[in-house]
Amino acid sequence: MTFLAIGLSILLLILFIVWAKIEPFLAFLVVSLFAGILLGIPLEEIMGAIQKGIGDLLGSLVIVIVLGAMLGKIVAESGAAQRIAIFLTQLFGKKRIHWAIGLTAFVVGITLFFSVGFVLLVPLVFTIAYQYKIPTMFVGVPMLAALSVTHGLLPPHPAPVALVVQFDANMGLTLIYGLIISIPIIIVSGPLIANTSWIKGIVSKPLASFRGENKPSHTLPSLANSLLSSLLPVFLLISTSLLLLYIEDQHTFYPVLRLIGDPSAVMLFSLAFATYSLGVFQGKPIARIMDEYGQAVKEIALVILIIAGSGAFKEVLVASGISADLATALQDWPIHPLVLGWLMAAAIRVSIGSATVAALTAAGMVAPIVASGAADPNLMVLSIGAGSIIFSHFNDGGFWLVKEYFNLSVRQTLLSWSLIETIASILGLLGVFALHIIF
């Protein structure tokens, strides 16, 4: 009955959004209420779960998304994105620009959360596509693949780190194994898939707010200024993460580094720097810069609400206990432990949307198997991580982030973002088994 209720809820959500054309945020609220009733959550607790889901998701994302939109706006409007696009095109060539974006996103994605890396790189993707008249998804898919794979498989991202601790795995060895399989996964699900006719054929008109108009070369900021202003969040997060590895909790500078290294604080510091370096320093009045920031926030307001709605739906599913039910149902299947871990994470991911919840729930169920020595703990971390990124769809905030920023239809998002997630997940399982055979 539980699985039937989830299926009916997802079907209703699809009908509301695709057929009835109801605003997704409203659709999520109605379907979350409907799902809560069907799943037997006490009536007086359903709205609390909805509010908690919205609060939990927006609490960690809204500052990053809003400040990221402002940073993206000034990077695009100042011509910094255009300057970087020219540099990458000269370095890799127009025909291989998607490889350049994939490499950039891989480096960025090793340390940054998916959402942070996304809002930082989106202006560059849109500018390259607009300036060189190439399909947006041809440039966007490598970015999405790299950010997603690194987020799901590689420490220091939250789920892989938590799994390493839970399984008593080796952090360094897990990272090495993860890098070995992540690179071919990203190549296949990123640049190679992006070069296919169906991805190139997707017509996308992304948010204009992050697509700067072409400017004469002499009016563009310098390459050094463009790179520093655009990638300062990356530099701050990487440097603080490395320093925190070598500084004890009791050290005087530890709280300072924790503050500077927080994604929200990093975005605030970076926006302040870019406001000066790409705005005031270039002779733009502060009032005009603030107007541009206001326009950027207005354009992503619905994106924020839609992501909030997906958080409400996810929390209702989590509150129903479906993740534990699924994991328990799969636990006794007579299959290899690494496949079992992947399958548990994949089933929970498809059901509730959250990759992190899927990974942590599956980890709790296979922990006794790992403790018994039946599976390599380092490989189990990667197997569960790969399963947790499979088939992002309506109950995942990432699905709506991609759909709304790239201005895609539901069908287009399923045939691009959801597809590459699924390919990456399956390749991840195959990669884990290859390592299992070799080592």
pLDDT category of residue 1 using cuts at 50, 70 and 90? low
* CB-CB contact of 120 with 112 (8 Å): yes
Q: 341 or 263: which carries more pLDDT confidence?
A: 341
CA gap 43, 234 in Å, rounded: 44
With a pLDDT cut of 70, the percent of the chain lying above it is 96
Alpha helices in 221-262 (DSSP H): 223-246, 254-261
* CB-CB contact of 58 with 307 (8 Å): yes
pLDDT category of residue 14 using cuts at 50, 70 and 90? confident
Predicted confidence (pLDDT) per residue in 260-306, tens digit: 888 888 889 999 999 999 999 999 999 999 999 998 888 788 888 88
Handedness of CA 224, 82, 201, 152 (dihedral sign): positive
In the three-class reduction of DSSP (H, G, I as helix; E, B as strand; rest coil), residue 71 is classed as: helix
Which residue, among 368, 371, 421, 357, has the nearest Cα to 392 in the 3D structure?
421
Q: What confidence score (pLDDT) does residue 127 get?
A: 87
What residue ranges do the domains of the chain occupy? 2-209+216-438
Which residue, among 232, 228, 212, 224, has the nearest Cα to 82 in the 3D structure?
212
Predicted confidence (pLDDT) per residue in 17-64, tens digit: 878 889 889 988 999 999 999 988 999 999 999 999 899 878 867 888
pLDDT > 70? residue 330: no
* CB-CB contact of 31 with 13 (8 Å): yes
CA gap 116, 238 in Å, rounded: 13
At 60, list the tokens: 């960690």
pLDDT > 80? residue 365: no
Predicted confidence (pLDDT) per residue in 202-235, tens digit: 988 887 766 666 778 788 899 999 989 988 887 8
Q: Model's pTM, two decimal places?
A: 0.79
pLDDT > 70? residue 331: no
* CB-CB contact of 315 with 50 (8 Å): yes
Predicted confidence (pLDDT) per residue in 92-117, tens digit: 998 899 999 998 889 778 767 788 78
Which residue, among 360, 352, 356, 348, has the nearest Cα to 395 in the 3D structure?
352
Which residue, among 380, 367, 364, 286, has the nearest Cα to 326 in the 3D structure?
364
Q: Tokens 């088939």, residue?
A: 391
Q: What is the mean pLDDT of the chain?
A: 88
* CB-CB contact of 325 with 334 (8 Å): no
Q: What confidence score (pLDDT) does residue 250 get?
A: 83
Provide CB contacts within 8 A for 97, sequence distance 6+.
Answer: 88, 89, 128, 132, 134, 139
CA angle 234, 239, 245 (to 5 degrees): 130
CA angle 402, 405, 407 (to 5 degrees): 95
